[in-house]
């Protein structure tokens, strides 16, 4: 495979472009996705290639963005809808949760709702409490939705393709602080199946399970710890629904120790779900120490940079947590 | 407007079907043979049937919690409707949806909705599909007067207007959203007045007259089909029965209800058909009897159905 | 204390009435809360006593119901806002999560938002997927909110009073299937502090932690199990935020076994959070068996009665889970 | 309308404060001394200042992400504003809010808002308090043209109308919501046209003329104060700078921007004041210099402030 070094953002764009070239039913809609290229420049240039018909600027109306995507999907299109910041999914929750996610089941299996709802999540841009949330736990709790949270250019491209080809509503959470991070991505068409975790680093002493930007921080932490002789395995689930429990369980059986790291605030976060799943699995008997969660504080994200940093796990926090457990 | 006898009799029959279907549901509900909740549209049949009559067979609708009439208007199978309400696996949703979620995608019915205002955005999206795929199809989006105060109404109508989507917003103004009269809940007198906010036509008609409803809907549908964009069509009508099972009708008077019962859309239409020598009283009686029989058959069909097996519980969450 | 036997629904109403008599800043708003008395008849008669000024029917506009409550609260009133079914909180999420919950923190501690958002939750009424959800896990994940979920007439009255007197946005989830259940309630004024779990049944063999209607099912299960010689302790947290970890941890230390029961679907439910909290506590070392979750299936709630029942835990499921663990 | 010299000069000064405050912010932002994101209202000062001038000191406002002008109009302390933008503990929100969340509850500013349309319902609730407590106070709810397409706009305006709440909806129509021009995003030409959906008055004025803005706002405020209910007041103006830091202005032409710069509201107001012999050029220069100095002092104040300590991180989540 020929590889290219591209940013996460470019990988997102390429996935959309390639799918839109492949399938005329795929199109993009959202606020300022056209000439502006999206708030983070993700869709820059797409208007030029696909025109206003398939790269659709919408009014500032998140409810109808998600709901119209559902309506278009159920009648034969494959919309990619963008919510400018994942924080504004609050406005689209009814469309997403009560409509898109439930249509198929309520209708006795007759509907297909092949839509992707893309949105950047997370803190780190100094944009404070209403532009920095990590809300994936809400969506994991909604039957009928799939939830994807890629951390690298390779993953984001391969998973977005799968998401677009999937016949279900997929919530696709992009990690905004890695938009400009580069990584190797095949030039050939590829897709990454849902429900397959990626072991981002193989190790034997402790399993660190991390999502989004925390994958990168965990890998950094692992390098620091390696110097101390602690060999960390870093697992990135990549998709939260469906969830690859097997890979995680195997790893925990191997290492006997699990640390779960996420940016979302700890209380009610995805970490609890993961901890409970592991506990209910055969890995329970292999646990040498209690499962530990390293997660965001239970506070809105503050504006001031130092406080903002302290609100979510940093490399040091992960390092310390590992040291405490081994 | 040439409405031949066959067409008019078809409407008449569908109005009767709606009435008898719902009367049966009401009776079954009282006996505990239908559970959950159900919202009956008795008294509103003309709007549902007159409006859907303006559609082609492959046009689409989105409906509401009070949607049996629209469903029947869109040629639903009475058997499968009744089976669904009884929670049977031969129902429209295999017993998983019930009254509030009947959908018939093959016939273009994108579903009733338990969320007030939940259908607006879906209808707009469905209309976008028609526009982008140039199918020439139109979407009717049904909603109640009360639903017009949800934010989803506003977002959807604005988007439909700026994109000139082939959708017609059909307001069944039955004077109340649960206990809230339109005059208490809504800043404007007629919901169609809100068309002004979206630069689209809005028209208010007598919702108890299927011909007036048909004509107004047809004009809006043709406009939408020809690419000129959405409209609001509002029909003024009345809900005879309580909002749902829990309603003690404390918010309105018996006199008001009786006055509207005197304006029964089905009776009035029968009189119109007879007076204009389209049918005789005898023919009308025969149609009525036939419609009743259809409901009896629907009940039989439903009763013969089995409840969905436990093995279906976790099926159909994902495609 | 003189006790009266009243229904859960009456207890809710009494709490509102007594607080409205006590404090003229307290008022009720919501869809059909006036002459209709609310969809479940909870506020029947209140219009007559307090008039249209303080028992306010609103249009069908959940976003502004919650948002106006926040605006009224921050300027000096103490609104009780009702969302007719907790499922429709999807429409009020921005008002609740991005506005009410965050105002105080974002403004550096200057605002107080003393509002209560009441809503009936849960399945069991045959009303299908959009009228039967249990969404408390979403709210637990939102810093700035308090989350209350009472199971009995006594608790609901005492906790609603505390909620109304609290200076923060409180989400108050009523269990609709117990609205007509009766229980003893003091005739005198009383309030139940937040963050104090109630041991609904003392036992020594296994701890069953349950919320809402599952408290009742767990108590029934306990009676059945008692006949088999299994002594179950049933803990009802009553408030999910703040959460009384201490009582639970003590119980688990005593019994060595924990079963968490909730109606909400398992994936991403509150049970994961509870399991993780216990695991991170000193109780970990006392656990004789993995913590078990008995929870709703990961599906929308189906219409048909038998399926609906099978979608969420019933007494038998709890009994079986206990038998498996002891 | 008697607007004495003192009043007019106060407006002039506030417009200058807004301009200089934001120019400073822009410069600091470019240098990385202010982080995050910030939305500047340069070019729009007349609407913010003219409208808030119609309020009593204890009236209330809700503001937006682009709300520095309204904040200054409502007599905010420039020092604490600048400190907040620099993330300092002596800022309005102790450094926890930043530009998008400045609030000054004591002065009646219920806060800027990072959510487009997030302020509508809050304003309505605040107005309900005034009505129920009979305070005689009025709430101004600021919002952008783009925000008028959110569902929250619709729900709030309907409720305000039926309850006749003392709130005025102030639309800063600067032609764009990010890259979407009003003509592309919105079904109506003027946002005030939407007043028709809520049976309230709606008026569109030149948003670059503080006197016209003041007059229109005052009329609406008096109406609200006297219990006659809400209105929409829309000011047509223009955002000179990009939407926020990330904006390359691809959606509009340089010519368009320049044409609006030629209509600078501050220049125009200065000329008005001089032409009508209210002030001399020299006085104007002095006021200008004074306003600049105030910003210098604000910067000093902010720079002297310390960053909030880590011990404050988990404070103030709950009361
Ligand atoms: C979002 C939402 N809010 C509230 C309800 C409860 N509810 C069901 S029907 C109804 C009244 C709807 O009024 P209208 O739109 O006029 O329709 P109608 O019932 O008169 O047919 C209400 C409040 C709901 N189902 N969904
Ligand atoms: C709910 C929501 N959607 C999108 C955004 C991103 N956003 C911030 S400002 C803005 C444009 C707002 O336009 P307008 O209301 O006209 O105000 P202006 O920026 O022109 O002052 C957008 C889309 C947001 N902050 N909130
Ligand atoms: Mg109605
Ligand atoms: Mg604008």
Residue C36 near chain A (CB below 8 Å): no
- Provide the CA A80 distance to its chain's centre, in angstroms: 15
Q: Does B179 sit within 8 Å of C127, measured CB to CB?
A: no
CATH number at residue B84: 3.40.50.970
* Ligand 2 pocket residue status of A91, Cβ below 6 Å: yes
Do A41 and A150 reside in the same domain of the chain? yes
Residue D115 near chain B (CB below 8 Å): no
Q: Does C299 sit within 8 Å of B317, measured CB to CB?
A: yes
Give C128-178 as a 3 state SS string.
CCCCCCCCHHHHHCCCCCEEECCCCHHHHHHHHHHHHHCCCCEEEEEEHHH
Residue B231 near chain D (CB below 8 Å): no
> A residues 81-100 near C, CB within 8 Å?
87-88, 90-91, 93-94, 97-98
Do A165 and A206 reside in the same domain of the chain? no
β C3-7/C182-186 pair status: antiparallel
Range of the domain at B141: 5-25+39-305
Burial letters for B71-102: b for 16+ Cβ neighbours within 10 Å, e otherwise?
bbbbebbbbbbbbbbbbbbbbbbbbbbbbbbb
Point out the residue among A90, A91, A143 whose CB comes nearest to the CB of C298: A143
Q: Which tokens in the block code for residue C2?
A: 């003189």
From the CA of B146, how far away is ligand 3's center (Å)? 5
Residue A267 near chain C (CB below 8 Å): yes
Angle at B32 between CA B26 and CA B36, to 5 degrees: 80
pLDDT for the residue numbered A23? 98
Q: Is A188 exposed, middle or buried (0-12, 13-18, 19+ CB in 10 A)?
A: exposed
CA distance A316 to chain C (A): 20
Do C217 and C176 reside in the same domain of the chain? no
Do A111 and A17 reside in the same domain of the chain? yes
Do C291 and C150 reside in the same domain of the chain? no
Point out the residue among C105, C298, C300 whose CB comes nearest to the CB of A299: C105
Q: Which chains touch C (3 or more CB pairs under 8 A)?
A: A, B, D
Looking at C166, C186, C206, the residue that finishes a domain is: C186
Task: Examine residue A193 and state whether it is found in any structural domain, yes or no.
Answer: no
* Ligand 2 pocket residue status of D223, Cβ below 6 Å: no
pLDDT one-digit tens code per residue, B215-262: 999 999 999 999 999 999 999 999 999 999 879 999 999 999 999 999
Q: Does A71 sit within 8 Å of B123, measured CB to CB?
A: yes
Q: What is the arithmetic mean of pLDDT over B314-318?
A: 98
Task: Examine residue D77 and state whether it is found in any structural domain, yes or no.
Answer: yes
- Which residue, chain included where needed, has tokens 């719902």? B22
Task: Examine residue C191 and state whether it is found in any structural domain, yes or no.
Answer: no
Range of the domain at A90: 3-186
From the CA of D119, how far away is ligand 2's center (Å)? 12
Do C22 and C146 reside in the same domain of the chain? yes
Q: Which tokens in the block code for residue D40?
A: 């500047």
Closest-CA residue to A230 (of A198, A252, A208, A260): A208
* Ligand 2 pocket residue status of D8, Cβ below 6 Å: no
Q: Is A131 a catalytic residue?
A: yes
pLDDT for the residue numbered B246? 78
pLDDT one-digit tens code per residue, D76-119: 999 999 999 999 999 999 999 999 999 999 999 999 999 999 99
Contact D265, D237 (CB under 8 A): yes
- Report the SS3 class of residue A268: coil
Distances (CA, A) of B115 to C87, C134, D115, D132: 9, 16, 24, 31
From the CA of D71, how far away is ligand 4's center (Å)? 18
- ipTM > 0.90? yes
CATH number at residue C135: 3.40.50.970
Residue B118 near chain D (CB below 8 Å): no
Q: Does A27 sit within 8 Å of B132, measured CB to CB?
A: yes
Do A66 and A120 reside in the same domain of the chain? yes
pLDDT one-digit tens code per residue, B50-92: 999 999 999 999 999 999 999 999 999 999 999 999 999 999 9
pLDDT band per the 50, 70, 90 thresholds, residue D293: very high
- Which residue, chain included where needed, has tokens 């469903």? B71
Q: Which chains touch B (3 or more CB pairs under 8 A)?
A: A, C, D
Do A131 and A76 reside in the same domain of the chain? yes
* Ligand 2 pocket residue status of D145, Cβ below 6 Å: yes
pLDDT one-digit tens code per residue, A293-318: 999 999 999 999 999 999 999 999 99
Q: Does B95 sit within 8 Å of C302, measured CB to CB?
A: yes
Q: Does A268 sit within 8 Å of C141, measured CB to CB?
A: yes
Which residue does chain D place closest to B202, by CA atoms?
A: D197
Considering only CB atoms, which chain D residues are within 8 Å of A60? 116-117, 146-147, 149-150, 177, 180, 185
Testing ligand 2's pocket by substitution, the residue of D122, D177, D182 carrying the most ligand atoms inside 8 A of its CB is D177
Q: Does D93 sit within 8 Å of C144, measured CB to CB?
A: no
Phi-psi region of D276 (alpha: psi -120 to 50; beta: other; left: phi over 0): alpha
Looking at C186, C217, C235, the residue that finishes a domain is: C186
Do C108 and C224 reside in the same domain of the chain? no
Residue A305 near chain D (CB below 8 Å): yes
* Ligand 2 pocket residue status of D210, Cβ below 6 Å: no
Structurally, chain B folds into a number of domains equal to 1
Contact C146, C166 (CB under 8 A): yes
CATH number at residue A308: 3.40.50.920
pLDDT beyond 80 at D2: no
pLDDT beyond 70 at D185: yes
Considering only CB atoms, which chain A residues are within 8 Å of B131? none
Which residues contact residue C105 at a Cβ distance below 8 angstroms, ignoring those fewer than 6 apart? Answer: A129, A299, A300, A302, C143, C144, D96, D316, D317
pLDDT for the residue numbered D1? 53
Task: Examine residue A139 and state whether it is found in any structural domain, yes or no.
Answer: yes
pLDDT beyond 80 at D71: yes
Do C250 and C163 reside in the same domain of the chain? no
Task: Examine residue D313 and state whether it is found in any structural domain, yes or no.
Answer: no
Residue B185 near chain D (CB below 8 Å): yes
From the CA of C303, how far away is ligand 1's center (Å)? 19
Point out the residue among D150, D152, D187 whose CB comes nearest to the CB of B197: D187
pLDDT for the residue numbered B1? 53
Testing ligand 2's pocket by substitution, the residue of A60, A63, A81, A129 carrying the most ligand atoms inside 8 A of its CB is A60
Contact B230, B157 (CB under 8 A): yes
Q: Does A67 sit within 8 Å of B156, measured CB to CB?
A: yes
Which residue does chain B place closest to D194, by CA atoms?
A: B197
Task: Examine residue D319 and state whether it is found in any structural domain, yes or no.
Answer: no
Q: Which residues of chain A have pLDDT under 70?
A: none
Residue A310 near chain D (CB below 8 Å): yes
* Ligand 2 pocket residue status of D178, Cβ below 6 Å: yes
Which residue does chain B place closest to C63, by CA atoms?
A: B151
pLDDT along chain C (326 residues), means of 10: 95 98 98 97 98 98 98 98 98 98 97 98 97 98 98 98 98 98 97 98 98 98 98 98 98 98 98 97 95 98 98 98 96
Distances (CA, A) of D155 to A49, C59, C71, C72, D119: 38, 8, 14, 16, 12
Q: Which atom of ligand 2 is closest in space to residue D148's alpha carbon?
A: 15
Ligand 1 interacting residues, C-beta cut-off 6 A: B 39, 65-66, 114-117, 144-147, 172, 174, 176-178, 239, 243; C 31, 60, 62, 84, 88, 91
Q: Does D187 sit within 8 Å of B157, measured CB to CB?
A: yes
- Report the SS3 class of residue B41: coil
Task: Examine residue D31 and state whether it is found in any structural domain, yes or no.
Answer: no
Residue nearest to atom 13 of ligand 2 (CA): D177
Residue A64 near chain B (CB below 8 Å): yes
pLDDT one-digit tens code per residue, D232-260: 999 999 999 999 987 999 999 999 999 99
Structurally, chain C folds into a number of domains equal to 2
Do C209 and C106 reside in the same domain of the chain? no
Testing ligand 2's pocket by substitution, the residue of D146, D180, D241, D260 carrying the most ligand atoms inside 8 A of its CB is D146
Task: Examine residue A192 and state whether it is found in any structural domain, yes or no.
Answer: no
Closest-CA residue to B125 (of B146, B144, B114, B111): B111
Query: Helices (DSSP H) in C229-269: which residue ranges?
Result: 245-255
Point out the residue among A40, A130, A305 whose CB comes nearest to the CB of D35: A305
Task: Examine residue B317 and state whether it is found in any structural domain, yes or no.
Answer: no
Q: Which ligand is nearest to the CA of D38?
A: 2
Q: Which atom of ligand 2 is closest in space to residue D116's alpha carbon?
A: 26
Residue C16 near chain A (CB below 8 Å): no
DSSP C288: S
Q: What is the arithmetic mean of pLDDT over B15-34?
A: 97
Task: Examine residue B312 and state whether it is found in any structural domain, yes or no.
Answer: no
Do A159 and A255 reside in the same domain of the chain? no
Residue D208 near chain B (CB below 8 Å): no
Looking at C186, C213, C235, the residue that finishes a domain is: C186
pLDDT for the residue numbered D246? 78
């Amino acid at each position: 495979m020929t590889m290219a070094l591209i940013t996460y953002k470019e990988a997102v764009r390429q996935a959309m472009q390639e799918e839109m070239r492949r399938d005329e039913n795929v199109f993009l809609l959202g606020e300022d996705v056209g000439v502006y290229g999206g708030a983070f420049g993700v869709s820059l240039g797409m208007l030029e290639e696909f025109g206003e018909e398939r790269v659709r600027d919408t009014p500032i109306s998140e409810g109808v963005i998600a709901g119209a995507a559902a309506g278009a999907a159920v009648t034969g299109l494959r919309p990619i809808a963008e919510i400018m910041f994942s924080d504004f999914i609050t406005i689209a929750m009814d469309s997403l949760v009560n409509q898109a996610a439930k249509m198929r089941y309520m209708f006795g299996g007759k509907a297909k709702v092949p839509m992707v709802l893309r949105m950047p999540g997370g803190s780190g841009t100094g944009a404070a409490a209403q532009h920095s949330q990590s809300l994936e736990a809400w969506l994991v709790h909604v039957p009928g939705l799939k939830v994807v949270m890629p951390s690298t250019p390779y993953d984001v491209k391969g998973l977005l393709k799968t998401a677009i080809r999937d016949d279900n509503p997929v919530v696709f959470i992009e990690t905004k602080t890695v938009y400009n991070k580069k990584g190797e991505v095949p030039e050939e068409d590829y897709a990454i199946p849902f429900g397959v975790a990626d072991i981002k680093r193989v190790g034997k002493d402790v399993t660190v399970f991390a999502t989004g930007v925390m994958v990168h921080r965990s890998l950094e932490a692992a390098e620091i710890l390696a110097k101390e002789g602690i060999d960390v395995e870093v697992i990135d689930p990549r998709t939260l629904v469906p969830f690859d429990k097997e890979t995680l369980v195997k790893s925990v059986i191997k290492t006997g120790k699990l640390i779960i790291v996420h940016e979302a605030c700890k209380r009610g976060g995805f970490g609890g779900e993961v901890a409970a799943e592991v506990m209910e699995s055969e890995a329970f008997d292999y646990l040498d120490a209690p499962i530990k969660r390293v997660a965001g504080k239970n506070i809105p994200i503050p504006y001031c940079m130092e406080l903002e940093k302290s609100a979510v796990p940093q490399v040091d926090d992960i390092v310390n947590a590992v040291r405490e457990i081994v | 407007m040439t409405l031949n006898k066959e067409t008019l009799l078809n409407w008449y029959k569908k109005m009767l079907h709606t009435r008898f279907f719902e009367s049966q549901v009401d009776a079954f509900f009282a006996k505990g043979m239908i559970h959950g909740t159900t919202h009956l549209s008795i008294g509103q049949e003309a709007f549902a049937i007159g409006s859907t009559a303006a559609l082609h067979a492959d046009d689409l609708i989105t409906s509401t919690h009070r949607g049996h009439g629209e469903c029947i208007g869109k040629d639903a199978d009475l058997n499968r409707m009744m089976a669904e309400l009884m929670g049977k696996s031969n129902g429209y949703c295999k017993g998983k949806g019930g009254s509030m979620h009947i959908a018939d995608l093959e016939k273009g019915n994108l579903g009733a909705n338990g969320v007030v205002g939940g259908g607006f955005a879906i209808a707009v999206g469905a209309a976008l599909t028609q526009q982008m795929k140039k199918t020439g199809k139109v979407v009717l989006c049904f909603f109640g007067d009360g639903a017009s105060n949800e934010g989803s109404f506003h977002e959807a109508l604005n988007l439909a207007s700026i994109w000139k989507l082939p959708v017609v917003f059909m307001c069944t103004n039955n004077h109340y959203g649960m206990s809230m009269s339109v005059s208490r809940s809504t800043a404007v007198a007629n919901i169609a007045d809100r068309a002004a906010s979206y630069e689209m036509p809005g028209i208010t008609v007598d919702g108890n007259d299927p011909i007036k409803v048909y004509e107004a809907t047809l004009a809006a549908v043709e406009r939408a089909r020809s690419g000129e964009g959405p409209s609001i069509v509002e029909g003024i009508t009345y809900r005879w029965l309580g909002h749902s099972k829990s309603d003690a009708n404390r918010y309105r008077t018996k006199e008001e209800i009786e006055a509207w019962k005197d304006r029964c859309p089905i009776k009035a239409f029968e009189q119109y058909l007879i007076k204009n020598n389209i049918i005789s009283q005898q023919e009308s009686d025969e149609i009525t009897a036939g419609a009743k029989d259809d409901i009896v058959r629907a009940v039989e069909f439903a009763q013969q159905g089995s409840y969905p097996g436990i093995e279906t519980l976790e099926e159909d969450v994902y495609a």
